């Protein structure tokens, strides 16, 4: 058997990054939904005529009130379904891209309508965005690493808002989740085969798994020598 050749372009994998803002970045990260969102709570207006985009401190109208269980003090994520015609589908992955615009806090609730203040904006909250209950994000502790297993890699399948590339600090999704035993805190090596798999493996980055869903996991690129593309591979540490 021909020995596997790896072209290492990076130094040893660094510790998982922490610092100010990582929790917020995790909460703002892209999601791939199992199905398109259904009609429900949405941003339906503002106190200012014609206003359709909102930032921190702005008040928005929500099309649900106390009759739907909305109460003052509740917090909700504000999200939108991104119509992504660029990210390829595959037999094991269907892109249903969800972008998190921020989160809001209910400040007043009538019977059928409520008012919410934008608590945090990942970018602009927009008219028509939908709401989901807020749950705080938690940054996982890094798990022990090891040598990357290039023989059975995951694939990078989605980035935020139609993006096709990522760099250091970017968050992207891979096509493996709890069904495949992925755990938050695991480290991965991002790599790219050469010569249609006949050449050496090009080792281009390191990343940490930050959160895991049933079929996908979110990774943060900790370091990279080159741009990371949709379709690049991720080898888990043995």
Cα–Cα dist 51/63, whole Å = 16
Burial of residue 48 (number of CB atoms within 10 Å: 0-12, 13-18, 19+): exposed
The answer regarding whether domain 31-133 maps to CATH 2.40.10 reads: yes
Fold identical between 6-18+140-236 and 31-133? Answer: yes
Looking at the chain, list the stretches that DSSP marks H as alpha helix, in order from N- to C-terminal side.
22-27
User: What pLDDT, on the 0 to 100 scale, is given for residue 10?
Assistant: 37
User: pLDDT by residue for the chain (238 residues), tens digit each?
Assistant: 344 444 444 333 333 333 338 999 999 999 999 999 988 999 999 878 888 999 999 999 999 999 999 999 999 999 999 999 899 999 999 999 999 999 999 999 999 999 999 999 999 999 999 999 999 999 999 998 889 999 999 999 999 999 999 999 999 999 999 999 999 999 999 999 887 777 788 999 999 999 999 999 999 999 999 999 999 999 998 8
User: What pLDDT, on the 0 to 100 scale, is given for residue 74?
Assistant: 98
Helices and strands in the chain: count of H runs, count of E runs? 1, 18
User: What pLDDT, on the 0 to 100 scale, is given for residue 111?
Assistant: 97
User: What pLDDT, on the 0 to 100 scale, is given for residue 49?
Assistant: 81
Residue-range domain boundaries for the chain: 6-18+140-236, 31-133
Homologous superfamily of 6-18+140-236: FlgT, C-terminal domain (2.40.10.410)
**Taking the model in full, what pTM does it have?**
0.87
Q: Is 197 helix (H, G, I), strand (E, B) or coil?
A: helix
């Amino acid at each position: 058997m021909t020995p596997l050749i790896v072209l290492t372009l990076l130094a040893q994998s660094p510790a998982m990054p922490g610092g100010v803002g990582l929790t917020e970045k995790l909460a703002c990260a892209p999601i791939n939904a199992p199905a398109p969102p259904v009609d429900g709570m949405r941003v339906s207006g503002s106190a200012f005529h014609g206003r359709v985009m909102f930032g921190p401190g702005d008040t928005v109208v929500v099309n649900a009130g106390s009759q739907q269980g909305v109460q003052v003090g509740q917090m909700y994520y504000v999200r939108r379904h991104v119509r992504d015609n660029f990210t390829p589908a595959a037999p094991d992955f269907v892109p249903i891209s969800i972008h998190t615009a921020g989160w809001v806090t209910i400040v007043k609730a009538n019977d059928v309508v409520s008012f919410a203040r934008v608590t945090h904006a990942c970018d602009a909250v927009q008219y028509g965005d939908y709401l989901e209950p807020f749950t705080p994000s938690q940054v996982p502790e890094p798990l022990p690493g090891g040598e990357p297993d290039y023989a059975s890699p995951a694939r990078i399948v989605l980035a935020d808002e139609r993006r096709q590339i990522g760099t250091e600090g970017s968050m992207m999704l891979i096509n493996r989740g709890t069904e495949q035993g992925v755990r938050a805190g695991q480290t991965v090596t991002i790599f790219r085969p050469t010569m249609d798999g006949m050449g050496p493996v090009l080792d281009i980055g390191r990343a940490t798994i930050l959160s895991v869903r049933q079929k996908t996991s979110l990774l943060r690129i900790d370091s990279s020598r080159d741009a990371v593309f949709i379709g690049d591979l991720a080898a888990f540490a043995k």
